[in-house]
Structure 1
Amino acid sequence: MTNQMITARGLTKTFRAKGQPVEAVRDVDLAVEAGELVAFLGPNGAGKSTTLRMLTTLLPPTAGEATVAGCDIRLDPAGVRRRIGYVGQGDSGGHSQRVRDELHAQGAFYGLGRRETRVRAAELVESLELGQVANRQVQSLSGGQKRRVDIALGLLHRPELLFLDEPSTGLDPHSRANLWEHIIELRRTTGTTIFLTTHYLDEADELAERVMVMDHGRVIADDTAPALKQQLGGDRVTLAFGSASDAAAAASHVGGEVHGAVVTVTAPDGDRALPRWIRGLAADGLEVTAATHRAPTLDDVFLALTGRSLREEGATPGSDEAASDEPAAA
């Protein structure tokens, strides 16, 4: 028995565009333990969706190997699909179908008996607060309600592993918070492993035990969010002065970079250092007219690793990178 829910070695996907090979995913290694919630981040075109499609057997790899939920993605794709749940960016339910009918059809698709399907559907309708809309057509639901239906469809067969591809994109803040409350509670009660892609870095920071960052088809970082932020060297502190000469003099005491009358310093425990610096500078006749302190964020990590902010990519509906990391010629 193994505790690994996902193991990938040398996973590669090459397409051809205008007669030329294009590597969307290059020699990717992954390891996800059972019960983990892992956030998989990257700018549009980084290769996230291609990697996700290979792991879920929707796209065959060009090279490499992977075992997902105990099944080889090449040799036993049906076994992988039986054991995983997948919630993509589009709505999963048939728009003209009733919510409860969609859940029952999903149970039949996975070979569950009628009684087991009805019991499981009822459990999910209750836990995801879909009772008031269970007999309504999917097309009549709000965005948040549709995403909860998607989660229910992905969980109906009690998968060991749930893939979530941008599950909260396009939702308002209240619906996002509500959706994650349900996902976390279901995970707490079932121990389901979750592999998540998201453009909302606050979700990754708050929810994931581990964060992977992908760029140009490769995994370039893999660690906990606190560890990744710690690698940036500390908090960002700014000190403003009445003149550029005062700022230059202050920088000789505290270090950092001078931009006009402002000194910017990166330092561990900047919140504790700030009062000490202000007192020391005042003793030397240098008055701090304004000061700010900001702890590093995952967006800072992302910027340092990729040279761009994930916020620049835009967390908007339809921002899936599939179009950019999979050439049209494929």
Structure 2
Amino acid sequence: MTQTKLANLQGLEFTPNQTVYAVEHIAKRYGRGKAAQSARPANLDISLEIKQGEVFGLLGSNGAGKSTLIKQMVNLLSPDEGRISLFGVDIAKKPDIVTRKVAYMPQKPNALLDLTAEEAIYFTGHMRGMSRHDAKKAAAQLVEQWGLGEVRRKAVRNMSGGQNRLVSLAITLVGDLPVMILDEPTNELDPAFRRQVWDHLKEQNTVHGTTIILVTHNVQEAEHVIGRVAIMSKGRMVGMGRVSELKSKIDQSVRLELFIKPDRAEICESQLVALEQARQLKPYHWVVLVPRENAEEDIYKVLGGIRLDNLEDFRVQTASLEDVYMAFTGRTIEDEDE
């Protein structure tokens, strides 16, 4: 099915480069009165546009303000300042456009928990305008696609975290709404299902023209799906652009990853903390960005100072989206203050 035909079925006129979401100078603080004024803003002066057919990423760690922004975009929270429009319609004035056009997958489901997996998918599809027959058929297909056959008649609230995520994903997919917003869609999933999720989202975007907004801190996986990304830190948007464009800004660097033997950590890390371009990602896991021009010489110096027999492993690769995050924020994606 072509994008034009699909969009017409969904009640839209497909226009290349049409703005789906326009977020204008959004700000949000939690609390009331003086408490809200003194609190660090969850969002501050955020503006962005998302075009039809994009796979757009919101990148940041826990506490960066991603979920707060998304909840405002789906009308679960009202911004203190600013305006959000969907297909040119102010969602504060006509909130029903969100339920008709946007499928939202939150981090934690808070509805349909007493229904079985198959019931939750079926009723969601039916509420989105599918006939009973089509909704029942779609629910059965999604149950099979996501390996939910064994729990199809189990209440959602009694499922494991991973099963719950898969049901939430199936609920988001049913009905083929033109916009999908997914908040950390691969949390609690094993590697095989994570790959399946990313592959399916790419297919959904390519084949059906679905506009997809991904909220994630899993930069290594999301990098292969996202076309354009906004980087958030402490409630602010600190960078935005195509992944390739952002990476090109630091592409003069080569990434050296070091995996240190735990019993050699003290001697190695005392040398690494003195290097300006060295960052600790996890315990015993460091990354050093070295200039591409003298990469071979600089890598040799770092490895020579650390000594290979102090390492469990090391890797050399070009800059990643995680390096982009570090360049814009000065910290790793796991270091954000709550």
Show the counterpart of 2:290: 266
Show the counterpart of 1:62: 80
Write the letter of the residue equivalent to 1:8. Answer: V
> 3-state DSSP class of the match of 1:102?
helix
Query: 1:277 and 1:143 mapped to 2: Cα distance?
Result: 42
Q: Which runs of 4+ in 1 moved over 6 A?
A: 256-259, 275-278, 289-292
Query: 2:255 and 2:315 mapped to 1: Cα distance?
Result: 8
Query: 1:257 and 1:6 mapped to 2: Cα distance?
Result: 39
> 3-state DSSP class of the match of 1:207?
coil
Cα distance change on mapping 1:132 and 1:218 into 2, 3 Å: same
Is 1:207 matched up with 2:225? yes
Is 1:172 matched up with 2:187? no
Q: Structure 1 residue 35: deviation in Å?
A: 1.3
Higher-Rg member (1/2): 1
Is 1:302 matched up with 2:325? yes
Write the letter of the residue equivalent to 2:329. Answer: T
Q: After alignment, is 160-169 or 8-17 more displaced? A: 8-17
Query: 1:292 and 1:275 mapped to 2: Cα distance?
Result: 15
- The answer as to whether partners of 1:43 and 1:310 remain within 8 angstroms in 2 is yes
Write the letter of the residue equivalent to 1:177. Answer: R
Q: After alignment, is 170-179 or 44-53 more displaced? A: 170-179
Q: Structure 1 residue 70: deviation in Å?
A: 4.4
Query: 2:298 and 2:236 mapped to 1: Cα distance?
Result: 42
Give the percent of matched residue pairs that are identical in Structure 1 and Structure 2: 30
- The answer as to whether partners of 1:128 and 1:182 remain within 8 angstroms in 2 is no
- The answer as to whether partners of 2:165 and 2:188 remain within 8 angstroms in 1 is no
Question: Aligned residue pairs: how many?
Answer: 286
- The answer as to whether partners of 1:257 and 1:265 remain within 8 angstroms in 2 is no
Write the letter of the residue equivalent to 2:291. Answer: A
How big is the alpha-carbon RMSD for the aligned residues of Structure 1 and Structure 2?
A: 3.4
Query: 1:17 and 1:44 mapped to 2: Cα distance?
Result: 23
Query: 1:156 and 1:277 mapped to 2: Cα distance?
Result: 50
CA-to-partner distance for each residue in 1:64-117, whole Å, 9 max, x for gaps? 112124432111111112110010111466444322111222134334332232
What's the TM-score once normalised by structure 1's chain length? 0.74
Q: After alignment, is 117-126 or 96-105 more displaced? A: 117-126
Pairwise mapping of residues 138-217 of structure 1 onto structure 2 (< 5 A)?
Answer: 138-139=156-157, 141-217=159-235
Show the counterpart of 1:8: 23
- The answer as to whether partners of 1:86 and 1:162 remain within 8 angstroms in 2 is yes
Cα distance change on mapping 1:176 and 1:297 into 2, 3 Å: same
Cα distance change on mapping 1:188 and 1:177 into 2, 3 Å: same
Query: 2:242 and 2:150 mapped to 1: Cα distance?
Result: 39
Q: Structure 1 residue 196: deviation in Å?
A: 0.8
Query: 2:117 and 2:277 mapped to 1: Cα distance?
Result: 59
> 3-state DSSP class of the match of 1:188?
helix
Structure with greater contact order relative to length (CA < 8 Å, sep ≥ 6) = 1
Q: Structure 1 residue 172: deviation in Å?
A: 2.8
Q: Structure 1 residue 277: deviation in Å?
A: 10
Show the counterpart of 1:71: 89
Write the letter of the residue equivalent to 1:114. Answer: R
- The answer as to whether partners of 1:144 and 1:175 remain within 8 angstroms in 2 is no
Q: Structure 1 residue 122: deviation in Å?
A: 3.4
- The answer as to whether partners of 2:256 and 2:299 remain within 8 angstroms in 1 is no
Q: After alignment, is 81-90 or 67-76 more displaced? A: 67-76
- The answer as to whether partners of 2:104 and 2:172 remain within 8 angstroms in 1 is yes
Write the letter of the residue equivalent to 2:317. Answer: R
Task: Flag structure 2 segments of 5+ consecutive residues without an equivalent.
Answer: 1-14, 258-274, 279-287, 302-306, 309-313
Query: 2:324 and 2:104 mapped to 1: Cα distance?
Result: 28
Write the letter of the residue equivalent to 1:12. Answer: A
Cα distance change on mapping 1:228 and 1:85 into 2, 3 Å: same
Q: Structure 1 residue 3: deviation in Å?
A: 1.1
Is 1:41 matched up with 2:59? yes
Query: 1:148 and 1:186 mapped to 2: Cα distance?
Result: 16
Query: 1:265 and 1:307 mapped to 2: Cα distance?
Result: 13
Query: 1:45 and 1:276 mapped to 2: Cα distance?
Result: 35
Query: 2:209 and 2:172 mapped to 1: Cα distance?
Result: 15
Write the letter of the residue equivalent to 2:253. Answer: G
Q: Structure 1 residue 299: deviation in Å?
A: 2.1
> Pick from 204, 224, 235: which aligns with 2:254?
235
